[in-house]
Amino acid sequence: MAIDIGNTAVKWGVFEGRTLLESGYGVPTELLQHARRVLLCASGEVPPVLAEVPHLNAAMPLPIRLDYKTPATLGPDRIAVACGAWSLHPGADTLVVDCGTCITLEFVSADGTYRGGAIMPGLGMNLQALHTFTAKLPLLDVATVQKAPVLGRSTEECILAGTLGAAQMAIAAYVAALKGIAPGLNVLVTGGDAERIVPPGANRREHEPHLTLIGLNEVMEYEKREMKNAK
Protein backbone atom coordinates (compact mmCIF):
# COMPACT_ATOMS: atom_id res chain seq x y z
CA MET A 1 0.00 0.00 0.00
CA ALA A 2 1.16 3.50 -0.87
CA ILE A 3 -0.19 6.54 1.00
CA ASP A 4 0.23 10.15 -0.11
CA ILE A 5 -0.51 12.79 2.53
CA GLY A 6 -0.74 16.13 0.76
CA ASN A 7 -1.63 19.59 2.01
CA THR A 8 -5.32 19.14 1.19
CA ALA A 9 -6.03 15.39 0.96
CA VAL A 10 -4.86 11.87 1.83
CA LYS A 11 -4.68 9.53 -1.15
CA TRP A 12 -3.89 5.82 -1.12
CA GLY A 13 -3.32 3.00 -3.54
CA VAL A 14 -3.14 -0.78 -3.26
CA PHE A 15 -0.69 -2.49 -5.63
CA GLU A 16 0.14 -6.03 -6.67
CA GLY A 17 3.58 -5.82 -8.18
CA ARG A 18 3.42 -2.72 -10.36
CA THR A 19 -0.34 -2.99 -10.96
CA LEU A 20 -2.58 -0.50 -9.17
CA LEU A 21 -5.57 -2.53 -7.99
CA GLU A 22 -7.50 0.07 -6.04
CA SER A 23 -7.17 3.70 -4.97
CA GLY A 24 -9.10 6.21 -2.93
CA TYR A 25 -9.08 9.16 -0.54
CA GLY A 26 -8.99 9.31 3.24
CA VAL A 27 -7.15 7.24 5.84
CA PRO A 28 -7.45 3.55 4.81
CA THR A 29 -7.54 2.19 8.36
CA GLU A 30 -9.07 -1.21 7.56
CA LEU A 31 -6.93 -1.85 4.48
CA LEU A 32 -3.76 -1.13 6.46
CA GLN A 33 -4.31 -4.28 8.48
CA HIS A 34 -3.98 -6.46 5.37
CA ALA A 35 -1.12 -4.73 3.52
CA ARG A 36 2.20 -6.65 3.40
CA ARG A 37 4.19 -3.45 2.84
CA VAL A 38 3.24 0.17 3.44
CA LEU A 39 5.12 3.35 2.55
CA LEU A 40 3.94 6.88 3.22
CA CYS A 41 4.80 10.20 1.58
CA ALA A 42 4.04 13.11 3.92
CA SER A 43 3.88 16.68 2.67
CA GLY A 44 1.03 17.58 5.00
CA GLU A 45 0.16 16.73 8.60
CA VAL A 46 0.30 13.00 9.37
CA PRO A 47 -2.78 11.58 11.18
CA PRO A 48 -1.86 9.82 14.46
CA VAL A 49 -3.02 6.45 13.11
CA LEU A 50 -0.30 6.65 10.43
CA ALA A 51 2.50 7.95 12.65
CA GLU A 52 4.28 4.57 12.80
CA VAL A 53 4.06 3.84 9.06
CA PRO A 54 7.46 4.08 7.29
CA HIS A 55 7.97 7.52 5.71
CA LEU A 56 9.75 8.03 2.38
CA ASN A 57 12.96 10.05 2.69
CA ALA A 58 16.19 10.65 0.78
CA ALA A 59 18.22 8.34 3.04
CA MET A 60 16.23 5.25 1.98
CA PRO A 61 17.42 2.89 -0.79
CA LEU A 62 15.89 4.34 -3.95
CA PRO A 63 15.57 3.13 -7.56
CA ILE A 64 17.12 6.43 -8.72
CA ARG A 65 20.26 8.32 -7.74
CA LEU A 66 19.85 11.79 -6.20
CA ASP A 67 22.21 14.40 -7.65
CA TYR A 68 21.05 17.15 -5.28
CA LYS A 69 23.10 19.48 -3.09
CA THR A 70 20.81 19.19 -0.05
CA PRO A 71 19.10 15.76 -0.19
CA ALA A 72 17.91 16.07 3.41
CA THR A 73 15.72 19.02 2.35
CA LEU A 74 14.29 17.30 -0.73
CA GLY A 75 10.57 16.81 -0.16
CA PRO A 76 9.29 13.21 -0.15
CA ASP A 77 6.61 14.16 -2.66
CA ARG A 78 9.33 15.28 -5.07
CA ILE A 79 11.28 12.06 -4.54
CA ALA A 80 8.14 9.99 -5.06
CA VAL A 81 7.15 11.55 -8.40
CA ALA A 82 10.74 11.27 -9.63
CA CYS A 83 10.70 7.55 -8.78
CA GLY A 84 7.31 7.28 -10.47
CA ALA A 85 8.70 8.90 -13.61
CA TRP A 86 11.55 6.37 -13.68
CA SER A 87 9.08 3.51 -13.21
CA LEU A 88 6.99 4.63 -16.20
CA HIS A 89 9.87 5.73 -18.44
CA PRO A 90 13.04 3.85 -17.47
CA GLY A 91 16.06 4.80 -19.54
CA ALA A 92 14.49 8.04 -20.78
CA ASP A 93 14.84 11.73 -19.93
CA THR A 94 11.63 12.69 -18.13
CA LEU A 95 10.29 15.90 -16.63
CA VAL A 96 7.51 15.76 -14.03
CA VAL A 97 5.18 18.75 -13.69
CA ASP A 98 3.34 18.36 -10.39
CA CYS A 99 0.51 20.89 -10.12
CA GLY A 100 -0.53 20.96 -6.48
CA THR A 101 -0.38 23.56 -3.72
CA CYS A 102 2.98 24.38 -5.27
CA ILE A 103 3.96 23.64 -8.85
CA THR A 104 7.12 21.58 -8.82
CA LEU A 105 9.20 20.44 -11.78
CA GLU A 106 11.50 17.43 -11.42
CA PHE A 107 13.97 16.16 -14.04
CA VAL A 108 15.12 12.54 -14.13
CA SER A 109 17.81 11.86 -16.73
CA ALA A 110 18.02 8.74 -18.88
CA ASP A 111 20.68 7.20 -16.62
CA GLY A 112 18.26 7.16 -13.67
CA THR A 113 19.57 10.25 -11.91
CA TYR A 114 17.41 12.92 -10.34
CA ARG A 115 19.04 16.15 -11.52
CA GLY A 116 16.92 18.75 -9.71
CA GLY A 117 14.05 20.98 -10.71
CA ALA A 118 12.08 24.04 -9.69
CA ILE A 119 9.37 25.16 -7.26
CA MET A 120 6.86 27.94 -7.85
CA PRO A 121 3.55 28.92 -6.27
CA GLY A 122 0.55 26.87 -7.29
CA LEU A 123 -2.56 28.32 -8.87
CA GLY A 124 -4.58 28.55 -5.64
CA MET A 125 -1.64 30.09 -3.79
CA ASN A 126 -1.24 32.81 -6.43
CA LEU A 127 -4.96 33.59 -6.45
CA GLN A 128 -4.99 33.81 -2.64
CA ALA A 129 -1.89 36.04 -2.58
CA LEU A 130 -3.37 38.56 -5.02
CA HIS A 131 -6.48 38.83 -2.88
CA THR A 132 -4.69 38.88 0.49
CA PHE A 133 -2.00 41.44 -0.32
CA THR A 134 -4.16 43.94 -2.20
CA ALA A 135 -7.10 46.06 -1.14
CA LYS A 136 -9.52 45.42 -3.97
CA LEU A 137 -8.61 42.38 -6.04
CA PRO A 138 -11.25 39.64 -5.65
CA LEU A 139 -10.50 36.06 -4.62
CA LEU A 140 -11.24 33.77 -7.55
CA ASP A 141 -12.36 30.22 -6.83
CA VAL A 142 -9.72 27.88 -8.26
CA ALA A 143 -12.41 25.27 -8.93
CA THR A 144 -14.04 27.59 -11.49
CA VAL A 145 -10.81 28.35 -13.39
CA GLN A 146 -10.83 26.80 -16.84
CA LYS A 147 -8.64 28.88 -19.15
CA ALA A 148 -6.68 32.11 -19.27
CA PRO A 149 -6.61 34.84 -21.93
CA VAL A 150 -3.30 36.24 -23.14
CA LEU A 151 -4.67 39.76 -22.65
CA GLY A 152 -7.26 40.24 -19.92
CA ARG A 153 -10.08 42.70 -20.62
CA SER A 154 -11.61 42.64 -17.16
CA THR A 155 -10.11 42.43 -13.68
CA GLU A 156 -10.98 38.74 -13.43
CA GLU A 157 -9.48 38.01 -16.86
CA CYS A 158 -6.32 39.93 -15.94
CA ILE A 159 -5.95 37.84 -12.77
CA LEU A 160 -6.31 34.66 -14.82
CA ALA A 161 -3.79 35.90 -17.38
CA GLY A 162 -1.32 36.67 -14.61
CA THR A 163 -1.78 33.45 -12.64
CA LEU A 164 -2.93 30.55 -14.80
CA GLY A 165 -1.55 32.09 -17.99
CA ALA A 166 1.80 32.90 -16.40
CA ALA A 167 2.11 29.39 -14.95
CA GLN A 168 1.41 27.84 -18.35
CA MET A 169 4.00 30.07 -20.01
CA ALA A 170 6.60 29.36 -17.32
CA ILE A 171 6.13 25.60 -17.69
CA ALA A 172 6.30 25.83 -21.49
CA ALA A 173 9.53 27.83 -21.27
CA TYR A 174 11.02 25.33 -18.80
CA VAL A 175 10.15 22.41 -21.08
CA ALA A 176 11.66 24.22 -24.08
CA ALA A 177 14.88 24.91 -22.16
CA LEU A 178 15.23 21.27 -21.09
CA LYS A 179 14.58 20.02 -24.61
CA GLY A 180 17.70 21.91 -25.59
CA ILE A 181 19.74 19.38 -23.60
CA ALA A 182 17.30 16.44 -23.74
CA PRO A 183 15.62 16.46 -27.19
CA GLY A 184 13.61 13.29 -26.53
CA LEU A 185 12.21 14.62 -23.25
CA ASN A 186 9.07 12.97 -21.87
CA VAL A 187 6.73 15.22 -19.89
CA LEU A 188 4.57 13.69 -17.15
CA VAL A 189 1.86 15.84 -15.57
CA THR A 190 0.25 15.12 -12.19
CA GLY A 191 -1.39 16.90 -9.24
CA GLY A 192 -4.83 18.25 -8.44
CA ASP A 193 -4.61 21.23 -10.81
CA ALA A 194 -2.93 19.33 -13.65
CA GLU A 195 -5.87 19.55 -16.05
CA ARG A 196 -6.25 23.29 -15.45
CA ILE A 197 -2.60 24.19 -15.81
CA VAL A 198 -1.37 21.66 -18.38
CA PRO A 199 -4.32 20.04 -20.18
CA PRO A 200 -3.78 16.33 -20.97
CA GLY A 201 -2.55 15.85 -24.52
CA ALA A 202 -0.99 19.32 -24.80
CA ASN A 203 2.23 18.88 -26.78
CA ARG A 204 2.10 15.12 -26.16
CA ARG A 205 2.28 15.49 -22.41
CA GLU A 206 1.15 12.45 -20.45
CA HIS A 207 -1.27 12.91 -17.56
CA GLU A 208 -0.78 10.46 -14.67
CA PRO A 209 -2.91 11.36 -11.63
CA HIS A 210 -1.46 8.51 -9.52
CA LEU A 211 2.22 9.32 -10.11
CA THR A 212 3.08 9.83 -6.42
CA LEU A 213 1.51 6.49 -5.50
CA ILE A 214 3.30 4.79 -8.41
CA GLY A 215 6.59 6.25 -7.19
CA LEU A 216 6.05 5.04 -3.63
CA ASN A 217 5.25 1.57 -4.93
CA GLU A 218 8.39 1.62 -7.07
CA VAL A 219 10.49 2.33 -3.97
CA MET A 220 8.91 -0.68 -2.23
CA GLU A 221 9.44 -2.86 -5.32
CA TYR A 222 13.08 -1.77 -5.43
CA GLU A 223 13.53 -2.64 -1.75
CA LYS A 224 11.97 -6.06 -2.39
CA ARG A 225 14.34 -6.74 -5.31
CA GLU A 226 17.37 -5.63 -3.27
CA MET A 227 16.42 -7.92 -0.38
CA LYS A 228 15.95 -10.83 -2.78
CA ASN A 229 19.32 -10.20 -4.43
CA ALA A 230 21.04 -10.02 -1.04
CA LYS A 231 19.95 -13.55 -0.11
**In the annotation, is 141 catalytic?**
no
As a residue count, the chain comes to 231
Distance CA 40, CA 169 (A): 33
Q: How far apart, in Å, are the Cα atoms of 94 and each of 101, 103, 172? A: 22, 16, 15
Catalytic residue among 77, 93, 98, 193: 77
DSSP secondary structure letters along 165-221: HHHHHHHHHHHHHHHTT-TT-EEEEESTTHHHHS-TTGGGPEE-TTHHHHHHHHHHH
Instruction: Give catalytic residue positions.
Output: 77
